[in-house]
């Protein structure tokens, strides 16, 4: 049965830092090539922060742009949910730092950790409070400074990620027909060992030894994650469409998590989605983890590809493993 939430996305904004790291730059840093990166991942360049810029700064900037665009005062925000795996620090929560930066004095909030599915999980959680009628305006933010946890001497991971943030405003849906029509999320903890950052938490608190062993960086079994991502992106999106009596043809836009162009193409083929209905921006940003989906929505709007009444499918697979998918009637 569909899990409808009586809430809608009423605005979208994003932020990527101005500094660009190209494949040519990476060729000078590790044993890689533009040709390998482009053919294996679809990435041409990514944006990276300068030192001193953290997840809260990017998330707050995306939120400031959103509030300005919507003409909403910070004091009108009731709730801030931040998806991130690269919080400024373990505590306080990035949501508290952003609340303070924005001056959103009435809002409460918290962080949520679900890696690349984080934004979709946060969107679901934030929307539930609005759909229940207890909150009127929720900010849902995905922000990750992936370069803060990447080993720039490891060619297998350093070419994949970039930094970026996106923010959406959630408000009550005005009719049954608009907003979040359905969602499906699941986790498979047996996949945790395939993509993780072992150091810095309570299991391996930071020591000289954890740093020497590079435990504070992303560790990934790329091919295992790849296989899982292709399989689950296809299964979950087909299932969500089927249970709503829809096919790929009914969709106006698909905004998938941007981890690898080959994963996106496999899902595209399986669902029979034409290029015109598929959002791809991995070429310019790489994998920004919690940032990819709001940045995809922002770019789709800027390109005039997203209109009121459109049926939109959002989907992601990430570390955990986590899987997320949401079906939205754009309002």
**Residue pointed to by tokens 């700064």:** 57
Question: Is 257 marked active-site?
Answer: yes
H runs (alpha helix) in 103-243: 118-131, 155-158, 208-212, 222-243
- What 3-state class would DSSP assign to 206? coil
Q: How far is the CB of 36 from ligand UT7 (least distance, A)?
A: 4
Core vs surface per residue 156-179: b (16+ CB within 10 A) or e: ebbbbbbbbbbbbbbbbbeeeebb
Nearer to ligand UT7, 128 or 287 (CB): 287
The DSSP secondary-structure symbol of 180 reads: E
Is residue 171 within 8 A of residue 79, CB to CB? The reply is: no
Q: How far is the CB of 230 from ligand UT7 (least distance, A)?
A: 9
Which residue in 318, 323, 325, 328 binds ligand UT7 (CB under 6 A)? Answer: 318
Nearer to ligand UT7, 219 or 305 (CB): 219
Could you count the other beta carbons within 10 Å of the beta carbon of residue 305? 17
Residue 320 binds ligand UT7, judged by CB under 6 A = no
Which residue in 32, 113, 210, 244 binds ligand UT7 (CB under 6 A)? Answer: 32
Going 285 to 287 to 292 to 297, the CA torsion angle's sign is positive
Paired tokens of 194: 């395939």
**Residue 184 backbone dihedrals phi, psi, to 5 degrees:** -140, 125
Is residue 120 within 8 A of residue 314, CB to CB? The reply is: yes
Could you count the other beta carbons within 10 Å of the beta carbon of residue 31? 9
Which residue in 52, 189, 205, 223 binds ligand UT7 (CB under 6 A)? Answer: 223
Question: Is 116 marked active-site?
Answer: yes
Residue 148 binds ligand UT7, judged by CB under 6 A = no
Is residue 193 within 8 A of residue 133, CB to CB? The reply is: no
Stretch that binds ligand UT7, among 32-40, 101-109, 123-131, 133-141 (CB under 6 A): 32-40
Query: In sequence order, what are the residues at sequence separation of 6 or more whose Cβ sits closer than 8 angstroms to the Cβ of residue 231?
Result: none
Cα distance between residue 216 and residue 111, in whole Å: 20
Stretch that binds ligand UT7, among 33-41, 48-56, 82-90, 172-180 (CB under 6 A): 33-41
Nearer to ligand UT7, 40 or 136 (CB): 40
Nearer to ligand UT7, 12 or 115 (CB): 115
List beta partners, residue 170: 9, 138
* 40-69 binders of ligand UT7 (CB under 6 A): 40-41
Which residue in 226, 236, 241, 298 binds ligand UT7 (CB under 6 A)? Answer: 226
By CB under 6 A, the count of residues binding ligand UT7 is: 20
Question: Is 234 marked active-site?
Answer: no
Residue 260 binds ligand UT7, judged by CB under 6 A = yes
Residue 305 binds ligand UT7, judged by CB under 6 A = no
Residues at the contact surface with ligand UT7, assessed by CB under 6 A: 32, 36-37, 40-41, 116, 155-156, 159-160, 222-223, 225-226, 229, 259-260, 263, 287, 318
Residues annotated as catalytic (active site), given as ranges: 116, 257, 287
């Amino acid at each position: 049965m569909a899990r409808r939430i009586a809430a809608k996305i009423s605005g979208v904004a994003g932020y990527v830092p101005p500094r660009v790291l190209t494949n040519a730059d990476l060729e000078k840093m590790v044993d890689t090539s533009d040709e390998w990166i482009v053919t294996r991942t679809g990435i041409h360049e990514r944006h990276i922060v300068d030192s001193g810029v953290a997840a809260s700064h990017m998330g707050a900037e995306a939120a400031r742009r959103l509030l300005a665009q919507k003409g909403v005062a910070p004091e009108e925000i009731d709730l801030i949910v931040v998806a991130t795996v690269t919080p400024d620090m373990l505590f306080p929560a990035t949501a508290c730092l952003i609340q303070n930066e924005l001056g959103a004095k009435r809002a409460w909030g918290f962080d949520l950790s679900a890696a690349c599915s984080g934004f979709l999980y946060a969107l679901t959680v934030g929307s539930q409070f609005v759909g229940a009628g207890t909150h009127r305006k929720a900010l849902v933010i995905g922000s990750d400074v992936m370069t803060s946890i990447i080993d720039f001497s490891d060619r297998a991971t350093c070419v994949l990620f970039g930094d970026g943030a996106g923010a959406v405003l959630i408000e009550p849906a005005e009719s049954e027909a608009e907003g979040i029509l359905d969602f499906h999320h699941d986790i498979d903890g047996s996949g945790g060992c395939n993509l993780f950052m072992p150091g810095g938490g309570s299991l391996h608190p930071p020591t000289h030894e954890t740093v020497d062993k590079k435990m504070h960086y992303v560790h990934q079994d790329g091919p295992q994650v790849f296989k899982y991502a292709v399989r689950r992106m296809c299964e979950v999106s087909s299932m969500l469409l089927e249970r709503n009596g829809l096919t790929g043809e009914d969709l106006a836009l698909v905004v998938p998590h941007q981890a690898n162009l080959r994963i996106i193409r496999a899902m595209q083929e399986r669902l029979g989605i034409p290029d015109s209905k598929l959002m791809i921006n991995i070429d310019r940003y790489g994998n920004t983890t919690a940032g990819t989906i709001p940045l995809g929505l922002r770019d789709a709007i800027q390109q005039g590809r997203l209109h009121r009444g459109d049926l939109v499918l959002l989907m992601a697979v990430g570390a955990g493993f986590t899987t997320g998918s949401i079906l939205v009637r754009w309002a």
